[in-house]
Structure 1
Amino acid sequence: MDQILKLQHEDLEMDLVTHKVCRGAQSLDLTTKEFDLLEYLLRHSGRVVSREMLAHDVWHATARATPLDNVIDVTIARLRRKVDEPYERKLLHTVRGLGYLLSGRQA
């Protein structure tokens, strides 16, 4: 079985071995949680992921707690600043009432 070593969406690349993330020629400095969140979004690229999915699969929450929503939102906001802020083309979108989407097109 082939193991995936790199994930990519448009000009955003993640090396799962070295834990390096780049957008274009720019290296991104991510925290461990931001890296885990971005890896999840890259693996679900083009699909909306809900807070429920993120709480379960990224934060490994067994019981759903509303306070985790704020943690997810803050982490998404920090990740969005690093991944999208310097670039004209935005990749990380909020789909109101549903969740988040990594896509080159606005949801």
Structure 2
Amino acid sequence: MTAYVVIVRERTTDPDALQRYRDRAPKAREIHPLTPLAFYGPQDVLEGEDAEGVAILSFASMAAARAWYASPEYQAALPHRLAGSVSRVFLVAGTDETEAAA
């Protein structure tokens, strides 16, 4: 079942650290296939607080998403995102067509 990683960047605290993250994070994508469905594009807030940016990444399964997140390649990039921004990251299970129709 498809799974999604949702990254919500509340605010940038260190642009240089965030750039180091941007430089390193793509290495994890070379090994762990993912599809970016949304990647920090324009957004309209319908409820709640505004966010600086949102990314939605699609994976083949929850296990595939966890493997990407836990990979040495992503873990090498992660400290730079943590140093460069206030963010929240969610792993969300998708639904199959039967569940969605109910």
TM-score (norm 1): 0.33
Structure having greater relative contact order (Cα 8 Å, sep ≥ 6):
2
Greater Rg over alpha carbons, structure: 2
TM-score (norm 2): 0.34
Between structures 1 and 2, the one with greater helix share: 2
